[in-house]
Amino acid sequence: MTTEELTSNVLKALDEIRPFLNSDGGDITLVSIDDDKHVKVRLEGACTSCSVNQMTLKAGVETTIKKFAPQIETVVNVM
């Protein structure tokens, strides 16, 4: 998978999970993809102060991204 295809797939994954975040007043933005296997995202809005944002990141965001791009190893939130 090329870098462009990888980026496109990660963005598709974020588009799939975004409505769930939006419904709680949050959002998510792709910051970067490093070495074609480490994704950095920024949780925004209500997600920044949510007490379960790390669970959302791992159980929701990371799982969805890995469904679209299985070679991704980590997903982290950056401020």
- Find, among 30, 32, 27, 42, the residue nearest to 78 by Cα: 42
Report angle CA 40, 11, 60 to the nearest 5 degrees: 65
pLDDT at 43: 87
Q: What is the pLDDT of residues 42-56, one digit of tens each?
A: 988 877 777 776 777
Entry pTM: 0.88
Q: What is the pLDDT of residues 26-44, one digit of tens each?
A: 899 999 999 989 999 998 8
Where b means 16+ CB within 10 Å and e means fewer, 54-69 reads eebbeebbbebbeebb
Residues 6+ apart with CB under 8 A from 19: none
Contact 21, 47 (CB under 8 A): yes
